[in-house]
Amino acid sequence: MAEAKDGLPILPHVAGEFYVWLWWASEQQSGRFDLGDPVGAVDAWIDDRLAFRLPSETRVSAIMTGDDAPDAMESRAALAGGKVVNELRLAIKRDDREFSVTLKGPAMHLGQAKLPAMVTEGGEEVVFERMHLYEELCLIVAGLFRHYAAVRASPAWEVDVVPALRRWVVGEG
């Protein structure tokens, strides 16, 4: 089994499953997630990039980009054809702050983070503000993953979620 840099095992199916669930749930819930304390409510949706790979491969084999990437017929066709999501661009709105970040690979690395511009002048203030906003982004992504994990561990996963996901992939729901 592969390991991340911190020595913990990487479970390749978890990230891909989380990405698909996040894509599906954001569409089903109009992008609204109540993540409880300490995050609260956020709006999150798949933005302008999805990358797919074959389950047996580590390299990306298809990339969908553009404003309609999550709605493109090719994106659903990739899922229906057995590819897994390897990377996605996530847009997030919390209160009046807007973030975007790319979640990448089986270790769910955060990349290409775009943070809201709050403080525009000053030396240390800008650095501390950026650090605070990055921590907030990490907290939100962790909250989304905790939410997914709670759903995944519930009895509703097999009974309700998996059948709904399957219908969604083929365009029936």
Give a yes or no: residue 31 inside a domain. Answer: yes
Give a yes or no: residue 146 inside a domain. Answer: yes
Q: What is the pLDDT of residue 1?
A: 42
Q: What is the mean pLDDT of the chain?
A: 89
Residue of higher predicted confidence among 136 and 119: 136
* Mean pLDDT calculated for residue range 115-125: 77
Burial of 124 (0-12, 13-18, 19+ CB in 10 A): exposed
Domain count, the chain: 1
* Mean pLDDT calculated for residue range 115-134: 83
Q: What is the pLDDT of residue 9?
A: 46
Residue 121: is its pLDDT beyond 80? no
Give a yes or no: residue 143 inside a domain. Answer: yes
How many Å apart are CA 65 and CA 72, to the nearest integer? Answer: 9
Give a yes or no: residue 50 inside a domain. Answer: yes
For 46, the domain range is 12-162
Give a yes or no: residue 111 inside a domain. Answer: yes
Residue 3: is its pLDDT beyond 60? no
What beta strand segments (E) does 56-154 contain?
A: 62-65, 84-94, 97-104, 109-114
How many Å apart are CA 169 and CA 125, to the nearest integer? Answer: 46
Give a yes or no: residue 171 inside a domain. Answer: no
Q: What is the pLDDT of residue 173?
A: 67
Q: What pLDDT band is residue 120 in, cutting at 50, 70 and 90?
A: low
Give a yes or no: residue 124 inside a domain. Answer: yes
Q: What is the pLDDT of residue 119?
A: 64
List pLDDT tens digits, range 29-83.
Answer: 999 999 999 899 999 999 999 999 998 888 898 999 998 899 999 999 999 999 9
Residue 26: is its pLDDT beyond 70? yes
Residue 161: is its pLDDT beyond 50? yes
Percent of the chain with pLDDT over 70: 91
Residue of higher predicted confidence among 153 and 118: 153
For 154: left if phi > 0, alpha if psi spans -120 to 50, otherwise beta; the answer is: beta
Give a yes or no: residue 7 inside a domain. Answer: no
Residue 107: is its pLDDT beyond 60? yes
